[in-house]
Amino acid sequence: MRFLIRSALRQSMLCGKEEDCPDRLFRCRQCGYSQSTELDGCPVCAAGWRAIDVSHGPACPKHLVEEAFETPNGVLVRRCFRLLNAKAMGLAITLNDITEEELRVMELIEAEKQEQAADEDKDAKSFQELLLRKLSRR
Ligand SMILES: [Zn+2]
Ligand SMILES: [Zn+2]
């Protein structure tokens, strides 16, 4: 569960666009043929480039995370992120609206967010220290 939440929070850092994915996969929408090198058309069914989809490959962390979000736990985490967004937008959510489980996951998300913010502060601080050390050496 924590893994799912952490991944969701860091999703943008995992992998960018499909086209830039180091493990991208080209797949024909018509017959399902796929390969890892770029396809201008399908060699199997001769479909044109319009039928070729590019997606994150099986070894890409983003793909793994997306797969994890298809599981029941992943669906729950996604729903809780939506609930938190709704709350941030000013919608009132009462304890009657959510289940015990959802509440627990939302608490986990909040804790994870704070931890991540603290991590970023630490990173920024060590970067500043590094900079100061470099400058003082001159
Ligand atoms: Zn990727
Ligand atoms: Zn094809």
At 118, is the pLDDT very low, low, confident or very high (cuts 50, 70, 90)? confident
pLDDT at 77: 94
Spacing, Cα 19 to ligand 1 middle (Å):
8
- Would the pTM count as exceeding 0.75? no
Percent of the chain scoring above 70 in pLDDT: 98
Q: Which residue has the higher pLDDT, 19 or 37?
A: 37
User: Which ligand has the shortest distance to the CA of 34?
Assistant: 2
pLDDT at 106: 94
Whether 45 contacts 31, CB under 8 Å: yes
Spacing, Cα 65 to ligand 2 middle (Å):
27
User: Which ligand has the shortest distance to the CA of 18?
Assistant: 1
Q: Give residues whose Cβ lies within 5 Å of ion ligand 2.
A: 28, 30-31, 33, 42, 44-45, 47
